[in-house]
Structure 1
Amino acid sequence: MKTNKIRTSLLVLLIPVITSGQQAGDSVLSLRKCIQMCMTNNLSLKQAYLETIKSRHQIQEAKSEGLPQISGLASFSDYFDIPVNMVSGDIVGQPGTMVPIRLGTKYNVIAGIQAGQMIYNASYFASVNLFRKGCEISDLSLEQQKEEMVFRIAQLYILVQTMNRQIILLDTNLSSFRKLYAYSQQHLRNGLICKAESDRITVVINNTEAERDDLVLKRNQQLNMLKYLAGIGQTRKIKLSDDMVDVGFSRIQIDTTFENLTEMKIMKQKEKFAEINLRYMKAGSSPSLSGFAEYSFQAQVEQMDEINKGSNWYTTSYIGIRLSVPVFEGNRIKGKINQSRVALEQSRLAQRDLQGSLVIQFENAMETLLNNQLTEFRLKTNLELAGNVVSITEDQYHQGIKTFTDVLNARSEYNTSYLSWLNSKLQIDLSQLEIIKLNGTINSLLL
């Protein structure tokens, strides 16, 4: 009877009671909150946002070429030698000859204003469209980076959650094993159990501690990365929700056309960008028409003090238009046009290549998900079997058929099965995340 009481007390110490790792009053960060903090604080996203701002300024710069260009002008010339001009000798009574005459004054001052206006330039309109399309691509690139951040945050959040559950299980087991070890030492001194059984408990404790330390290290590394992406200070202590994340896989509508995928949208915009760039290069061989005007004052004097006299100043003004027609530029424009045609074909091929790659990625992701679900089913069955083995082994231990070492082995196998099952659940969640990302609906995690 006394031996049976000892057996029962030892087994009670082995029953795991998994407690929550969250204390009352702790600030808990949900997945949605982490993602929102990332959207606000992440430095990479801030850089991408600034890139979109820069794109808009580039559009403004391109448009400015079509607005009036007005500038002021002023010049002062001091001629050490006044220019010589050859004039007909008839003027000075020397017919049939050319006579050199210095025309001008020592000082020449000009001040005025110039204006120009583009009237027609095919390159201008193409360049504005080119920058607009570049701005759209920049906006989509920002959206793509946001989606990538949502994906990475969700991955890390689920991974840390799973590791926390594994650590809680190991902590519970360690607590039970340590109590059991203290209890076994008392029975060892009383000669109720053999030293081998006590040593076996020590081995189990050491192995569990090593496994826990390794898991805590990996958990902390992933948690630090999560804080970095979310823009949370590394010194700040955070806790994640104990409730496992539902990524909403059952609510999504699978779209194998990938029309909603931002990466595909970017590829289509790049194709349009290449088409506009081709038109821009072709426009380089088109005529351009512009207007110009000038209004200025000029003073030509021999002495500096004469500049102040209003009678020495004369006005000059004119207005005109200029037509520029490219005739021959050494096939430079033709070379650029051919390069643009090649770039357009490359963008079309890249889009087809991406489409094929996405199909393969999606099929592989679905196969991986199905395989992970099958693995989880098997591991869950294995976990149930391991639980039955523990129950049977404990019953046989009460009957004196099994040793306490057998009970420890059964319990250790159960813990291993439980950890493997948790990992299989993690792989299912990660596979579902990958499919949601390929489906172009990863931002649903923000809702």
Structure 2
Amino acid sequence: MLTVLILRNKFCFVLLFTLFCFSAANAQDILKAYVDTAFKNNIVLQQKNVSLEKAQYALKTAKGLFLPTVALQGAYQTADGGRNIPLPLGDLMNPVYSTLNQITGSTNFPMLENQTINFLPKNFHDAKLRTTVPIINTDIIYNKRIAQQQVVLKEYEVQIYKRDLVKEIKTAYYNYLNALAAVDIYKSGLQLAKEGLRVNEKLLENGKGLPAYVLRSQSEVENANATLLDAQQKVDNARLYFNFLLNRNPNDLILSDTNDQTELAKVEGLLAGLNMTNQREELKVLGQVEGINKNVQKMNSQFAVPKLGAFLDVGTQSEGFHFNANTRYYMLGLQLEIPIFSGNRNSNKLKESNLDLRNAELNSNLVAQQLSLSAKVSQNNLRSAYQTYQSSQKQFEAAATYLRLIERGYLAGANSFVETIDARNQYTSSKILVNINLYKVLTAMANMERETASYVIQ
């Protein structure tokens, strides 16, 4: 029999422990599911992803500048008038041809007419395929590097917004739970007020109460009703904002299965030490900005490097739209550009890029200090919120004990009705305060999680 009791107790302990773990895990799974939903649906995050995709296409464009460019080019021209070049072929050659015909006794040498050649083309076309390829061009090399860094920069910006979104979702979720708990507390307060009204009505019926007490109890019931309606409105507003972050229907139901004590158990560990990390996305962004400015500086410093390119033309040109072996042609060549003087624009641009790089380095140092300060402040805020929560718990315990004693004393005639109202208000206020401070702690934890970048983003 003793063995059976021991086995039963062990089974009950394992069952309760399993249920507790499942409840805590389920609560975290629900919140994580909401975060994943926001990652898919949030409109601002979608805009960030669009910017990232644009940067990726810009990188592909920069890579494409290394490849040959092929284009079909065509031109048609016709004109009349203008300057002419006279060619007196007849005057020059006809005497010679006439003499030759007399000597040979033949007509093998015909007479020629004088010619006139116009400078302007008439009914002339030129159609060709032009292929160009860069050989030496430092600008496109650095533009590709900058485009690659821009892609990484946009990726970090997406990560930063995701962390901000996680914080906003958790804060909105805790605000919703806080509002729900407040509704339950005010409902409990309304029940206490109604019970006070019932007791005073009974006492009045039995000749032991006063009409003023009944009127005051009715006023307390109406006040509790008004407070409850206001709390329910806050629940609706919290639900609207939470669903807005997830880009869902405003009236969608929010699951509220949570285990606050499990979350509170993490506070001591967070307060024990501050886990500072140098892998913050904000610092990585600034590192990328520095890298971009360095490449811009290097690109501007290469202004004296010549640019060399090659081209190949394959086409046809003629008058009268003829196409034959005499009209077809090809042309192969190189193009070289060596800068000599540009009004000091290149040197001024280099100095400007040097200042941009210096400013980026200073900004990195400043932001690193700001992030360190924000993390320490968030830890202090969490410590303050947790201590306030613990203090409000003790205050609530005292208010609950005080209410029980006053209610007993009122029924026994030892305490006045005003004292019961005061005790009831203290009880409700302290219970609300515990609830508010609880979610202040959870919100402070979400804020510290953001400031230390400890949330794992897949």
Q: What is the TM-score when the length of structure 1 is the normalising length?
A: 0.83
Report the residue type matching 2:397 in the other structure. E
Distance in 2 separating the partners of 1:34 and 1:265:
27
**Residue deviations 1:22-67, cap 9 Å, x none?**
xxxxxx9921121111011111111111111100110111111111
Asked whether the 8 Å contact 1:29–1:240 carries over to 2, the reply is no
Q: How many residues in Structure 1 have an aligned counterpart in Structure 2?
A: 406
User: Does 1:394 pair with 2:410?
Assistant: no
* Residue pairs, 1:140-179, within 5 angstroms: 140-179=156-195
Q: In the alignment, what sits opposite 2:126?
A: 110
Matched-pair identity in %: 16
* Residue pairs, 1:169-208, within 5 angstroms: 169-182=185-198, 184-208=200-224
Q: In the alignment, what sits opposite 2:298?
A: 279
Return 5+ residue gaps in structure 1 as ranges: 1-27, 94-98, 302-306
206-215 vs 269-278, which deviates more? 206-215
Q: In the alignment, what sits opposite 1:217?
A: 233
Distance in 1 separating the partners of 2:91 and 2:339:
46
Q: What is the TM-score when the length of structure 2 is the normalising length?
A: 0.81
Q: In the alignment, what sits opposite 1:41?
A: 41
Q: In the alignment, what sits opposite 1:13?
A: none
Distance in 2 separating the partners of 1:207 and 1:438:
41
2:368 aligned to 329, 339, 355, which one?
355
How far off its partner does 1:336 sit? 1.6
53-62 vs 170-179, which deviates more? 170-179
Report the residue type matching 1:283 in the other structure. Q
Distance in 2 separating the partners of 1:91 and 1:251:
110
* Residue pairs, 1:223-238, within 5 angstroms: 223-238=239-254
Asked whether the 8 Å contact 2:402–2:423 carries over to 1, the reply is yes
How far off its partner does 1:231 sit? 1.5
How far off its partner does 1:309 sit? 6.7
Distance 1:363 1:251, change over 3 A: closer
Distance in 1 separating the partners of 2:267 and 2:450:
11
Distance in 2 separating the partners of 1:100 and 1:58:
56
What is the DSSP-based 3-state SS (H/G/I as helix, E as strand, rest coil) of the residue aligned with 1:296? strand
42-51 vs 187-196, which deviates more? 187-196
Asked whether the 8 Å contact 2:79–2:120 carries over to 1, the reply is no
Asked whether the 8 Å contact 1:29–1:239 carries over to 2, the reply is no
Q: In the alignment, what sits opposite 1:270?
A: 289
Q: In the alignment, what sits opposite 1:124?
A: 140
Q: In the alignment, what sits opposite 1:138?
A: 154
Report the residue type matching 1:346 in the other structure. N
Report the residue type matching 1:126 in the other structure. Y
How far off its partner does 1:340 sit? 1.1
* Residue pairs, 1:362-377, within 5 angstroms: 362-377=375-390
Asked whether the 8 Å contact 2:304–2:339 carries over to 1, the reply is yes
Q: In the alignment, what sits opposite 1:432?
A: 445
Distance in 1 separating the partners of 2:120 and 2:190:
105
Asked whether the 8 Å contact 1:264–1:354 carries over to 2, the reply is yes
Q: In the alignment, what sits opposite 1:295?
A: 314
**Residue deviations 1:110-153, cap 9 Å, x none?**
22211111011111110000011011000110111111111100
Q: In the alignment, what sits opposite 1:261?
A: 280
Asked whether the 8 Å contact 1:170–1:212 carries over to 2, the reply is yes
How far off its partner does 1:335 sit? 1.8
Distance in 1 separating the partners of 2:322 and 2:335:
36
| Aligned residues: CA RMSD | 2.8
Report the residue type matching 2:398 in the other structure. L
Distance 1:387 1:180, change over 3 A: closer
Distance 1:184 1:358, change over 3 A: same
**Residue deviations 1:178-205, cap 9 Å, x none?**
3442453354344331112212222322
